[in-house]
Amino acid sequence: MATIPSIAMIPSGVKASKLYSVLPTDGTGDFTTTRASVATRVNENGLIEEVASNVPRLDYSDGGCPSLLLENSATNLIAYSESFSNWSQDGTTTLDNNIISPDGTLNASKITFNSGNERVFTSVNTTNGSFSAYFKGVQGKKVRFRDDSSTIFNEITLTENWVRHYLYKGTANANIQIQNVDATDVYVWGAQAEENSYATSYIKNAGTALGVTRVADTATSSGSSTVINSTEGVLYAQIGSLIGDESVGQLSISDGTNNEAVKILYLNANEVRLEMKTASGENFVKDITVTRDGTFDKVAIRYKSNDYAVYHNGIAQTVVQRADVSSGLNVLAFNQGGASSPFNGKVKSLQVYTTALSGIEIEKLTSYTSFNAMANALNYTII
């Protein structure tokens, strides 16, 4: 592509309360970030590690280049997420700190199945919770990760590598248990129970009965009228949802409100919406069917009077034209244009252009062959 974006955020440089954009170089495109708690990410070595409060998370769980990970608040209600000897034992023997865990330290537990029910369990108070834990063991052997207040369970086939497994349920006040099927033993680490319909990043709980909370991430206040054009332009993002998340989360260029904005948002379980809003109510909307399974989508909206266009993964979408455009655009943020409806998910790239790119340019921008070329043009190192 010959046209260079006025703002380009490719997750790379961070510090407390700051997410740096590659362009512009004067700091106008940098984001102010908050998260009033520690949080975890997968680092470049594939290990889970804690990140300090307010530091944006560059997450490598998808391999290759990192993603910016933004999540809503969540609480791990399992009081002992790494010490399974503190769970109730029924025909089992549990040794803590027995093997290297996914965080690279000697803090994972070994559960040996002896006789009887052969299970460990702990009480958790949730209504519509999601549960997760990391398992490994003898290849091909099986255990059950289950809710003993119902018939809900996940029968897990073990591998020699750590794998995070999930259980979703709809009953309250359950005992969450790990039960034998045909294994002699199993290694377990990082158990989590949260009041969500989907699982979020791991939150360590070392004995807090009421749970440990990770506060929500925010990223706001990038841009100005010098790098955002209200008359015409393009908003582009490469985004991925969290697996199972059906919430509405938005990113936008706006006047700082939801009245005048150009937006990209996850709409529901299977749609991305690209939208232009004006205070007069002359809006442009295009919904695209996607699969919210953690995979990434590359989407762009071109806005210009009677020249709107939407592209998804290199393919132009049919749109209905509008004469109006939003006015006063001067803020790029991971929300709807204002503090509400923050974006929840993963971001590989976010770009703003001050000109209405041609169809060929947007097709290349949103295709899966364009990222390396664009990054090289910006002197960004792909790792």
DSSP reduced 3-state for 84: helix
Stretch among 46-60, 71-85, 269-283 having the lowest mean pLDDT: 269-283
pLDDT computed for residue 380 by the predictor: 41
Name all domains of the chain by residue range, CATH numbers in brackets.
7-73+220-377 (2.60.120.200), 76-214 (2.60.120.260)
pLDDT of residue 293: 82
Query: CA 279 to CA 154: how far, in whole Å?
Result: 49
Peptide bond into 5 cis (omega under 30): no
Report pLDDT for 301.
98
- What confidence tier does 369 reach under pLDDT thresholds 50, 70, 90? low
**The pLDDT of residue 306:** 96
What pLDDT is attached to residue 282?
A: 84
What average pLDDT does this structure show over 163-185?
A: 87
pLDDT band, very low/low/confident/very high, at 172 (cuts 50, 70, 90): low
What is the per-residue pLDDT across 284-298, written as a single tens digit (0 to 9) for each?
Answer: 999 999 988 888 999
**351 neighbors 1 (Cβ within 8 angstroms):** no
Per-residue confidence band for 248, with pLDDT thresholds at 50, 70 and 90:
confident
Closest CA to 219 of 9, 37, 1: 9
Burial of 193 (0-12, 13-18, 19+ CB in 10 A): buried
Indicate whether 373 pLDDT > 50: no
Backbone angles phi, psi at 12, to 5 degrees: -155, -60
Average pLDDT score over residue span 218-240: 95
Mean pLDDT to the nearest integer, 71-76 = 96
Pairing label, strands 345-353, 233-240: antiparallel
**Token output for 60:** 């490598």
**Mean residue pLDDT across the chain:** 92
262: closest CA among 364, 210, 332?
332
Q: What is the structure's pLDDT at 170?
A: 62
Closest residue by Cα to residue 229 from 64, 44, 6, 32: 6
Q: What is the pLDDT of residues 299-351, one digit of tens each?
A: 999 999 999 999 999 999 999 999 999 999 999 999 999 888 999 999 999 99
Distance CA 340, CA 249 (A): 9
- Would you say residue 372 has pLDDT above 50? no
pLDDT for res 169: 72
For the ranges 14-18, 31-35, 291-295, the lowest mean pLDDT is seen at 291-295
Q: How far apart are the first and last CA of the chain?
A: 21
Lowest mean pLDDT among 198-202, 279-283, 359-363, 369-373: 369-373
Q: What is the mean pLDDT of residues 194-202?
A: 91
Q: Tens of pLDDT along 35-52?
A: 999 999 999 999 999 999
CB 96 within 8 A of CB 80: no
Predicted confidence at residue 173, as pLDDT, reads 67
374: confidence class by pLDDT, cuts 50, 70, 90 = very low
Q: Phi, psi (5° rounding) for residue 237?
A: -150, 145
Give the chain's largest Cα–Cα span: 73
**Above 50 in pLDDT, residue 55?**
yes
On the question of pLDDT at 381 being above 70, the answer is no
State residue 183's pLDDT score: 98
